[in-house]
Chain A
Amino acid sequence: MHTLASQALFQTQVEHISAKLASSRGWLVHKLEYPYVDLSFTADGRTPLRLCADCSEWNSEPPSFRLLSAAGVPLPSNPPPAEISPNRTGVFNVSQHPTTGLPFICSPGSREYHTHSSHINDHWDAYRRQTGYDLGGLLTRYWHAWLKGTG
């Protein structure tokens, strides 16, 4: 996708990730500027999880998500990070991704999922036009996974 078209779509979709929504959900927004979405999920009694999404090529390609500590340090594979443990949903994968060597989001909508050898045939094209797979939808999915599967 042309960069300008990608940027325009990005802007439209992050427009409603407002201070009001972030406050309501316990999200801390660090950066919302093409091509990056950088925010932390927070909740009482939980270790915050920070996600940094590189949305270059959005939405012909899914975002590449980095799983980070609140301080912005990439989560290690070992020991299992408190930020994504005990991971009841399986959405967060603590093993080393073949490309990044880091824990990753193992669910449709994450570039690391669609490029993993186990899901190489589950194409992003099948999802990208579906409701709930825009940027806000993806963040909401992973937020629900974090709420349900950790802490």
Chain B
Amino acid sequence: MEPNDELQQAEAHLKQAEADLEAGRTLERAADREVEEALHEIRDVESHHPDSNHLAVEVATTSGFYPEGHPARVPINQPVADELARAAKALELTDTTGWVVTVNKRIIEPGLSYEANGLMGCVVIDWGPAEGGGGV
């Protein structure tokens, strides 16, 4: 092989090596993005999960659920009324006087904490007007 041929071959190998390196860097950046997204998803899920000191809470009404999309993570010693107040504001409930708060069809006391109401884990708080009067 002539020296000139060797040089051309070496240049071709160098170009191929540079292309391979760039492709590798592109794959590395994509992998980094996937790792970052996975970590974000894990943190997102963990932030809504209950543990011994927190519940995952949703408020259900006929005006919608609060929060929308995922439960809120709240301390077990927080009064239920705090989350109801946030729900009322978000769902634009102007007058909730006399509304009934139930969990699994059991009436609970909104002035007390989740713990005092015997609630833990994942909880759907149903909130709506009481039956009202009846009778002829």
Residues of A that sit less than 8 Å from B by CB: 13, 16-17, 20-21, 24-26, 43, 89-93, 95, 105-109, 116, 118-119, 130-137, 139-142, 144-145, 147-149
The answer to whether B136 touches A142 (Cβ under 8 A) is no
5 sample A-B contacts, Cβ–Cβ < 8 Å, listed by A number: A106-B134, A131-B95, A136-B128, A145-B134, A149-B131
The answer to whether B135 touches A16 (Cβ under 8 A) is no
Q: Which of B1-9, B21-29, B61-69 contacts A (4 or more CB under 8 A)?
A: B61-69
**Residues 77 to 102 of chain B near chain A (Cβ within 8 Å):** 93-96, 99-100
Q: Are A17 and B130 also in contact (CB < 8 A) when A95-B136, A131-B96, A132-B99 are?
A: no
Confirm or deny: B124 has a beta carbon within 8 angstroms of a beta carbon on chain A: yes
A75 to B64, CA, bound (A): 31
The answer to whether A17 touches B131 (Cβ under 8 A) is no
Contact of B63 among A16, A93, A105 (CB under 8 A): A16
Confirm or deny: B118 has a beta carbon within 8 angstroms of a beta carbon on chain A: no
Q: Are A131 and B94 also in contact (CB < 8 A) when A25-B126, A93-B135 are?
A: yes
Confirm or deny: B129 has a beta carbon within 8 angstroms of a beta carbon on chain A: yes
B95 partner residues in chain A, CB cutoff 8 A: 130-132
A26 to B65, CA, bound (A): 16
Q: Give the 6 A-B residue pairs with the shortest CB-CB distance, closest first.
A: A136-B62, A132-B129, A91-B134, A140-B128, A90-B135, A145-B131
A139 to B126, CA, bound (A): 13
A132 partner residues in chain B, CB cutoff 8 A: 95, 99, 128-129
B133 partner residues in chain A, CB cutoff 8 A: 90-91, 107-108
The answer to whether B134 touches A16 (Cβ under 8 A) is no
Closest to B65 in A: A20
B93 partner residues in chain A, CB cutoff 8 A: 131
The answer to whether A136 touches B130 (Cβ under 8 A) is no
**What's the least CB distance linking B123 to chain A, in Å?**
11
Interface size band for B = 20 to 34
Closest to B63 in A: A16
A107 partner residues in chain B, CB cutoff 8 A: 131-134
Contact of A141 among B94, B126, B131 (CB under 8 A): B131
Contact of B132 among A13, A43, A108, A147 (CB under 8 A): A108
A108 to B95, CA, bound (A): 18
A83 to B124, CA, bound (A): 26
The answer to whether B128 touches A16 (Cβ under 8 A) is no
Q: Are A141 and B135 also in contact (CB < 8 A) when A21-B62, A131-B96, A136-B62 are?
A: no
The answer to whether B136 touches A91 (Cβ under 8 A) is no
**What's the least CB distance linking A130 to chain B, in Å?**
7
Interface centre among A105, A108, A140, A141 (most CB of B within 10 A): A140
Contact of A137 among B65, B94, B129, B134 (CB under 8 A): B129
